[in-house]
Chain A
Amino acid sequence: MLRRILIGGIAALSLGLAAPVLAQGTPAAPQRLNISIQPADFSMFPVFLAGEQGWWRQMGIEPTITFFPAGPPQVAAAAANAWDVGITGSAPAVLGASRFNLRTIGISNDESQTNILMVRAADLAGIRANPASLRGQRVLITVNTTVDYVLQNCLRTFGLARTDLQVVNLAQAQILSAFSTGEGRVAGLWAPNIYTAEERMGAVPLCSGSDAGATVPSNIVVRDDYLRQNPEMVARFLATVLRGIAWTKTNREAALQSMQRFYAQGGVTISPAALGAEIDRHPTFGLEEHLRLMDRGAGPSQVDRWFEGLAAFLAQVGTVANPPAPSVYITDEVLRRIAGNPALRAFALNQ
């Protein structure tokens, strides 16, 4: 793996110099593609799966995969042209859209059920009965992220405001450490950290994104200039990811085994039950569903509406001053290119 990263880095460097020459490759001569993901996250799984299944090669893609510990450095690295396509959370995707022209070309999955406010089991009944008891309490959360968006919406359903609580900003791993030693009443976590909290700290869900009507997808993204120069490569990439999504739905057992390897590589020890929950709690969308969700035939698409709420939140907390309209950065052009190409379409549908 390490050697692959090194070789990849060197190759990427030389490719940068030779890119114009190689512009139109064929499947026979695989073309270099820099992909960015985060480790041990279900939304990133199709990229890992494609490697194990040998789909990149079939699509004529020679991938260099870079792992980022979090969305912000991932998006910032896009500004430095460190990668071409990738999968990231919806908050960084909007951030990247507003600052670096990042385009969203698909939805990797719906994480509304796995962005959760968690509490200790003993506290659950009390808080459910009287949410106002949270006033002045500490909430551990990674601020300005999807789970912060979930917090915002959950508080609204509780009849509370953000200022009623003490919001402590921590990275996910630090939330786990702190919560496990008795800090905070509420912890805002996403998968797979929620399973660690459930299984090892006896934490239970209080309110998830879907409970509060906040949809938090994760996005398949591309740099705008790369999309304009290499629409064909982007289509091949998206088709491969879509195939992974379709394949996971129909090959559950094999997918679980592969996921096990993916999470272990990312340093996450996860129980079989939690692995199953990962699939069950994450709605995913195949090509046909994607086309429906992103269709703007009758006004804003379903996906556009998801993002309006999130963008408003990010503007409110000050992350993005004036978020662009979803129509600016969400595009179904790549999906339509796949739908219009029988070979890609069949590949994406796993046929």
Chain B
Amino acid sequence: MATGAAPARFHRAFFVGALTIVAVLALWWVATTGTRWLNPLRLPAPSEVWAALQQILDRGYAGATLWQHAMHSLGLVARGFAVAIVTGIPLGLLMGWSRRAEALINPIFLLLRPIPALAWIPLAIVWFGLGDTGKVFVIWLTAFVPAVINAFTGVRNVDPVLIAAARTQGASTAQVIRHVVIPGSMPLIFTGLRLSLQASWTTLVAAELVGAFFGLGRVLNIAGQDIFPGMIIVGMVAVAVCGAATTWLLGLLERRVLNWRQAI
């Protein structure tokens, strides 16, 4: 039940996964189109989603084509994510390394953390206006948290013996941080980055409530206002595809950086 030859297992999983997706799509078609068990007004039929996709690809929807919306959102997510990395990881490392810094910063961090992106939108608008800054701010807020937490946990999980060993070889604090603490935290930092990236994408819809001209979040918001289920599904799929693609890219980077890790 728990073992098996790896390649065979992979093939099987791939096969079952593909079959499941096909089965769900078929069930969807049957329920909405074949038999009309479900009212197509509540769950759009595949043909309606297809038509919505055609519409947004050819004629555009909410002011632009799907491609333009996606590129715009990608830009926003990239910026929010980048700012989260640049601010979150050093803060997490600092809090992990120094218990004093932890005691100083952590309570505030814990108090601000549960406030969702959506709740910041009124302030984002009055502080940053309707430009991209406000949207990047909202994305940063959510992407920031996993970056901090995982960098923090990463430092705390570095084997103290490694630090002791480096010390006995005459390493200075800076050398210990550079050669032991940071590489030792890297696996968890990457876990955090993956969560941050996911958070960035899931916050996009909220971020684009800050008066967006383009973007997948705007597509979803307008489709929601128009009660256009086909387009809502198109928007959701587009966000999911962008999220999966960027996560895959991050995975490539991770494999390069963590090449020293035992292949699992």
Q: A and B touching (C-beta < 8 Å)?
A: yes
Q: Which of A145, A166, A181 has the most CB of B within 10 A?
A: A181
Q: Is B116 an interface residue (CB 8 A)?
A: no
- Do B225 and A174 touch (CB < 8 A)? no
Q: Is A144 an interface residue (CB 8 A)?
A: yes
Q: Is A140 an interface residue (CB 8 A)?
A: yes
Residues of B146-204 contacting chain A, CB below 8 A: none
Q: Is A138 an interface residue (CB 8 A)?
A: yes
Q: Is B7 an interface residue (CB 8 A)?
A: no
Q: For the complex, what is the distance from the CA of A180 to the CA of B227, rounded to whole Å?
A: 30
- Do B209 and A174 touch (CB < 8 A)? yes
- Do B122 and A168 touch (CB < 8 A)? no
- Kindly report which residue of chain A lies nearest to residue B121, judged by CB atoms: A174
Given A181-B125, A318-B61, A319-B226, A100 contacting B41 (CB threshold 8 A): yes
Q: Is A143 an interface residue (CB 8 A)?
A: yes
Q: How many residues of A contact B (CB 8 A)?
A: 30
One of B84-92, B216-224, B241-249 at the interface:
B216-224
- Do B227 and A76 touch (CB < 8 A)? yes
- Do A173 and B130 touch (CB < 8 A)? no
Neighbouring B residues of A343 by C-beta, 8 Å: none
Q: For the complex, what is the distance from the CA of A116 to the CA of B222, rounded to whole Å?
A: 21
Neighbouring B residues of A169 by C-beta, 8 Å: 211-212, 218, 221-222
Q: Is B126 an interface residue (CB 8 A)?
A: yes
- Do A178 and B212 touch (CB < 8 A)? no
CB distance from A79 to the nearest CB of B (A): 6
Picked from A72, A79, A181, A182, the residue with its CB within 8 Å of the CB of B225 is A72
- Do A184 and B225 touch (CB < 8 A)? no
- Kindly report which residue of chain B lies nearest to residue A175, judged by CB atoms: B211
Q: For the complex, what is the distance from the CA of A140 to the CA of B126, rounded to whole Å?
A: 14
Given A80-B42, A169-B212, A169-B221, A99 contacting B227 (CB threshold 8 A): yes
Given A171-B209, A173-B122, A181 contacting B129 (CB threshold 8 A): yes
Residues of B8-48 contacting chain A, CB below 8 A: 39, 41-42
- Do A143 and B222 touch (CB < 8 A)? yes
- Kindly report which residue of chain B lies nearest to residue A163, judged by CB atoms: B63
Q: Mark A146-171 against chain B: 1 for CB-CB distance below 8 A, else 0.
A: 00000000000000000000101111
Q: Which of B209, B211, B221, B226 has the most CB of A within 10 A?
A: B211
Q: Mark B88-111 against chain A: 1 for CB-CB distance below 8 A, else 0.
A: 000000000000000000000000
Neighbouring A residues of B121 by C-beta, 8 Å: 174
Q: Is A334 an interface residue (CB 8 A)?
A: no
Q: Is A177 an interface residue (CB 8 A)?
A: yes
- Do A183 and B129 touch (CB < 8 A)? yes
State the majority secondary structure of interface residues on A.
Answer: mixed
Q: For the complex, what is the distance from the CA of A138 to the CA of B129, rounded to whole Å?
A: 12
CB distance from B90 to the nearest CB of A (A): 31
Q: Is B67 an interface residue (CB 8 A)?
A: no
Neighbouring A residues of B226 by C-beta, 8 Å: 72, 95, 144, 318-320
- Do B211 and A178 touch (CB < 8 A)? yes
Q: For the complex, what is the distance from the CA of A79 to the CA of B42, rounded to whole Å?
A: 7
CB distance from A161 to the nearest CB of B (A): 14
Q: For the complex, what is the distance from the CA of A79 to the CA of B41, rounded to whole Å?
A: 8
- Do A138 and B227 touch (CB < 8 A)? no
- Kindly report which residue of chain B lies nearest to residue A75, judged by CB atoms: B227
Q: For the complex, what is the distance from the CA of A144 to the CA of B130, rounded to whole Å?
A: 19
- Do A72 and B224 touch (CB < 8 A)? yes
Neighbouring A residues of B224 by C-beta, 8 Å: 72
- Do A144 and B225 touch (CB < 8 A)? yes
Neighbouring B residues of A184 by C-beta, 8 Å: 130
- Do B213 and A181 touch (CB < 8 A)? no
Neighbouring A residues of B212 by C-beta, 8 Å: 169
- Kindly report which residue of chain B lies nearest to residue A320, judged by CB atoms: B226
Q: For the complex, what is the distance from the CA of A98 to the CA of B227, rounded to whole Å?
A: 11
Neighbouring B residues of A170 by C-beta, 8 Å: 125, 130, 209-211
Given A100-B41, A169-B211, A174-B211, A143 contacting B225 (CB threshold 8 A): yes
- List, sorted by A's number, 25 A–B pairs whose CB atoms are closer than 8 Å: A72-B224, A72-B226, A75-B227, A79-B42, A80-B42, A95-B227, A99-B41, A99-B227, A143-B222, A144-B222, A144-B226, A168-B211, A169-B221, A170-B130, A170-B210, A174-B210, A174-B211, A177-B122, A177-B125, A178-B126, A181-B125, A181-B126, A181-B129, A183-B130, A319-B228
- The 8 A-B pairs with the shortest beta carbon distances in the complex, nearest first, are A168-B211, A319-B226, A177-B125, A170-B211, A181-B126, A178-B125, A72-B225, A183-B129
